[in-house]
Structure 1
Amino acid sequence: MALRLGRGVNGPAPLAVVGIPGNRRLTGFQEALRRAGLPAAREVSWREVLGGRAEFAPAELVRLDSPGEDPVVERLLRDTEDPTRVEGSALWYRRFIDAARGLRAQLLDEPSDLAVLFDKRLCHGVLADAGVPVPPAPTSGAAAPVGGWHDVRELMAEAGLSRVFVKLAHGSSASGVLAIATAGGGRVRATTSVRRDAAGGLFNSLRVATYTAETEVGAIVDALAPDGLHVERWLPKGTLHGRTADLRVVVVGGRATHAVVRTSRWPMTNLHLGGARGDFAAARAVLGEHWAQALAICEQAAACFPGFSRVGVDLLPAPGWRRFAVGEVNAFGDLLPGLRGFDGGGAESGDTYDAQVAALLRTRRAAHA
């Protein structure tokens, strides 16, 4: 992975981080710099960037981090401070990507890759074109927009799919995701954390619900559609200790370094929706000789985004844990507090931020050898 590291007048280029000062992400990265004996990075708020007040020195290297967990930034990006509201992800995407592209600085992370990573349709198309195993998806790449539930029904029929995930094209943390299964006689069952209020507004809940009335499912999908939808086959996943399981694998500098098993009784394994960290040792034992294959697929997926310094790959094991597909690649999927690197990953002594700092140092040494 190509990381651009310049030099200042008196040595290596100083480092700045654009993010939310004081949150866990920036704190974790600053602590990793300190452990490596490096100066702290200058913190620049997304509030400053979005307000047009951010300035960077010519020699400064700038790392981009998530704009989440700040109600003011949320309002600036999608005109609401309510983090539970679902609507507005398309507006969020346009403003966020425009802000990243407008930064006049030496960037560690390419806005062009960021734009693809935050559009599930484009990301799926890039992965599929590169031969990365992904779930079949009728909206992959630059497909025609999905207008609502009627279009989803047609896409499922044309592709011969009875089980799909319907996702917001620019969503994250399972916001707006529905796991939909259809059966004969027009029966529909949708599992989601989305709720509709009396006025038709959509909200994310921490409690997963199931809808079986097609009118309810259709109303939710129709309300989501203006923000853009991605539709993909709902693949059956392997289980661990009786629960559905997948893996979040962090790839830093092109190498898989950290992994966590996520298990749930729901189709979505996100930890805030009742998912739990699974037994990593048990999962690796189940994988056996296929562990290397799983990591290779994650690294292949990360290689599709050479301009981004780290990604979190959601790896879906098929039943039996012998075949795999990449569900998503997340630009800011490195927040795994307290998790040490797995054996053989080259980052066994530190967390995901230690691995990122070590990758920066390796690249700098190579650049100035």
Structure 2
Amino acid sequence: MSPSPSDPAPTPGTGTRIAVVGNPENRRTTLFADAVRAAGRPAPRVLAWRDVLRGRYAFEPGEFVRIDSPGEDAEVDRLLRGTDDPTRVEGTALWYRRFTAAVREVTDAALRAGAVPSVTAEEVAVTFDKRRCHARLTAAGVPVPPALTGPVGGWQELRDRLRAARISRAFVKPAHGSSASGVVALSLAGPGRVKATTSVETAPDGRLYNSLRVRHYGTEREVAALVDALAPDGLHVERWLPKAVLGGRATDLRVVTVAGRATHAVVRTSRHPMTNLHLGGARGDLGVVRAAVRAAGGDFADVLDAAERAAACFPGTLCVGVDVLPSTGWRRFTVGEVNAFGDLLPRLTGLPGSGAEGLDTYAAQVAAVPAATRPLKHEEHHHDTTG
């Protein structure tokens, strides 16, 4: 019997069957499935997003349903963004509307069947809107970079508002982007003097493409065209905080939390403002970072605390990846991003004392399944996800 709207979803037990809504060819999905089998559980049912988006899916009572990334599937990208080219940057607003609507339908269906989803639709909608996520973290007292509020219509408005706010260096981010797609590190040095660092390649026809090469735009005409092309999908603009440096490279950390607890951390370093590993960033030495924090009179526990405070804003989500930005003096730690699908850290085992020692991020989530999801009220999945 399916739960009524006022009934809590069942809590999965150790014998719970697991299903994954994901891409069977996506590394996240395959690594999670491997972890399920390695734990001695039956292989999970994998429900491909390409089928789910067409309504071809069903859940079983008591089943734990992992909602995974819909990425790395051209057919899914076409269904969500309406483009045949997955490298295109534009179209994120349409992708967001369709994806959050799909997550809402899937989580509602899971609850009606008596299954337990790994996320709530409302929390997915917030994590995939950088403006809403920043506002939620701010309201909870989580340290985040100062940001502009309200919509930004294009380059001229952005330039004027940054100058009025006395912000000379900013990160301009597509509101619904991920993996640094479309992110611009912007410096305003004076009238007509501007520099933008980004992985966006602008084609002769003005279309924007995501590339794996970080490039620089140095004229106002180029930067204006870039920002004006990004603006229709929505922008989140925040102050560019100077990061701590290791070996001449900008440094931050991706901290993964499972069931609200910081379990894994990786150091990311780069010669560029964006530290994403797929853009040339490199893994750093966590021991060196711990030593740098201690030498500055700080406490590495503050890094984990910042991540856990951010994760606490999303109590219905089993796992999030939190980007923590250390200040230049290694004494302050700011949350830059919260990622609903931020657990792709292959071969990284859990932090000492985390309860995930010897486990990678996926094994830690599988181990947490019996008590992962607090009883969720069905109506929590009916919050507005279009804002």
> TM-score over 0.5 for the alignment?
yes
CA contact (8 A) 1:5 1:363 kept: no
Q: CA deviation at 1:325?
A: 0.5
Cα deviation 1:79-127 (Å, max 9, x = unaligned): 1232211011111100000011112113221011000000000000000
Cα deviation 1:249-305 (Å, max 9, x = unaligned): 000011101011000000000111111111121112112251111101100000000
Q: Does 1:179 align with 2:182?
A: no
CA contact (8 A) 1:5 1:61 kept: no
2:225 — aligned with what?
219
Q: Does 1:81 align with 2:84?
A: yes
Q: CA deviation at 1:308?
A: 0.6
**Residue of 86, 102, 107 corresponding to 2:105:** 102
**Residue of 136, 145, 148 corresponding to 1:126:** 136
* Counterpart Cα distance in 1 of 2:138 and 2:228: 27
2:355 — aligned with what?
346
1:278 — aligned with what?
284
Alignment RMSD, CA only? 2.0
Cα deviation 1:298-321 (Å, max 9, x = unaligned): 000000001111000000000021
Partner amino acid for 1:264? S
CA contact (8 A) 1:6 1:13 kept: no
* Counterpart Cα distance in 1 of 2:372 and 2:231: 43
* Counterpart Cα distance in 2 of 1:147 and 1:239: 34
Aligned positions, number: 359
CA contact (8 A) 2:184 2:198 kept: yes
Q: CA deviation at 1:58?
A: 3.7
After TM superposition, list the pairs within 5 Å mapping 1:1-369 onto structure 2: 5-6=10-11, 12-103=15-106, 104-106=109-111, 107-139=117-149, 143=150, 145-288=151-294, 289-363=298-372
CA contact (8 A) 1:313 1:330 kept: yes
Deviates more, 1:282-291 or 1:171-180: 282-291
* Counterpart Cα distance in 1 of 2:330 and 2:84: 41
TM-score by length of 2: 0.89
CA contact (8 A) 1:249 1:312 kept: yes
CA contact (8 A) 1:78 1:91 kept: yes
* Counterpart Cα distance in 2 of 1:112 and 1:96: 12
Partner amino acid for 2:121? P
Partner amino acid for 1:39? P
- SS of 1:262 mapped into structure 2: strand
CA contact (8 A) 2:118 2:373 kept: no
* Counterpart Cα distance in 1 of 2:36 and 2:195: 48
Higher relative contact order (CA closer than 8 Å, sequence separation 6+): 2
Q: CA deviation at 1:38?
A: 1.4
Q: 1:5 to 1:261 in 2, by over 3 A?
A: farther
CA contact (8 A) 1:312 1:333 kept: yes
Partner amino acid for 2:188? T
* Counterpart Cα distance in 2 of 1:61 and 1:353: 14
Q: CA deviation at 1:35?
A: 2.2
Cα deviation 1:136-162 (Å, max 9, x = unaligned): 0013xxx2x211101211221222111
* Counterpart Cα distance in 2 of 1:230 and 1:148: 12
TM-score by length of 1: 0.93
- SS of 2:75 mapped into structure 1: helix
Partner amino acid for 2:84? E
- SS of 1:105 mapped into structure 2: helix
Gaps of 5+ in 1: none
Cα deviation 1:205-262 (Å, max 9, x = unaligned): 2111111100100000000111110000000000111110000000001110101100
CA contact (8 A) 2:254 2:268 kept: yes
- SS of 2:328 mapped into structure 1: coil
* Counterpart Cα distance in 1 of 2:196 and 2:214: 10
* Counterpart Cα distance in 2 of 1:275 and 1:256: 22
